[in-house]
Amino acid sequence: MISEHEIERFKVIVVLPSERVRKTETGDSSFIEIPEGKSLKHIKDSNKLSHYLKGDLDNIVLKAMHKDPSRRYGSVEQFSEDIKIHLIGLPVIAQKDTTGYRLSKFIQRHKVGFVSSIVFLLFMIVSIIAIAWQANVASNERDNAKIEADKFERVNKFLQNMLSSVDLKDLNHLRVERISVRFVFRNI
């Protein structure tokens, strides 16, 4: 029979790479410091390094070390390929395949295109709102112009009726060569 001490000795504690980096910075002596590789030299802060390692790399390590052999990588080539895929920025096999995960990987790979698409979309929305607002302003101005045109037409008809109601025979004896509107209004 195996003693408790032996069971403890054979227990494997899985520490995620992102957690391991964070704990070495705090001075936990049970963890070995990870030497800075060429690709990670630009990251000096352990929190930034931890953030970089969190996610895909954690999942790659967990998949490689999974207790169930059927859930591990089938070969070293698959493991290596998953790391290469991660470095390129594509979705890895070890990560759960969700739409949000694929979208975040797509955005990470195509930041400029994504940002320009969002800016273009916002520009289009603002343009549509501005066009609708201007259409409303133009419609109000058209309605005001119709009202003013109707007023003008009514005043014009009124003046024509007024001027046509004046009898020229009555005015003939005044020998007025020019009849002004003031004169017509005074005599009405």
Q: Do residues 23 and 74 touch, judged by C-beta distance below 8 A?
A: no
- Write the pLDDT tens digit of every residue in 119-142: 999 999 999 999 999 999 999 999
- Write the pLDDT tens digit of every residue in 61-75: 888 888 888 888 888
**In a shared domain, residues 154 and 101:** no
**In a shared domain, residues 130 and 87:** no
Number of domains in the chain: 2
Domain boundary among 110, 144, 170: 110
Question: pTM higher than 0.85, yes or no?
Answer: no
Tokens of 105: 């990987």
pLDDT at residue number 57 = 83
**In a shared domain, residues 51 and 14:** yes
Considering only CA atoms, give the Rg of the chain: 43
C-alpha distances (whole Å) from 53 to each of 1, 20, 24, 57, 74 are: 40, 10, 14, 6, 23
C-alpha distances (whole Å) from 181 to each of 164, 165, 166, 175 are: 12, 13, 11, 16
- Write the pLDDT tens digit of every residue in 2-11: 455 554 554 4
Domain boundary among 91, 110, 129: 110
The mean pLDDT of the chain is 77
**In a shared domain, residues 96 and 35:** yes
**Residue ranges making up the domain that contains 141:** 112-186
Percentage of residues in the chain having pLDDT higher than 90: 30
pLDDT confidence tier of residue 58, bands split at 50, 70 and 90: confident
Helix pair angle (17-25, 56-64), 10° resolution: 110
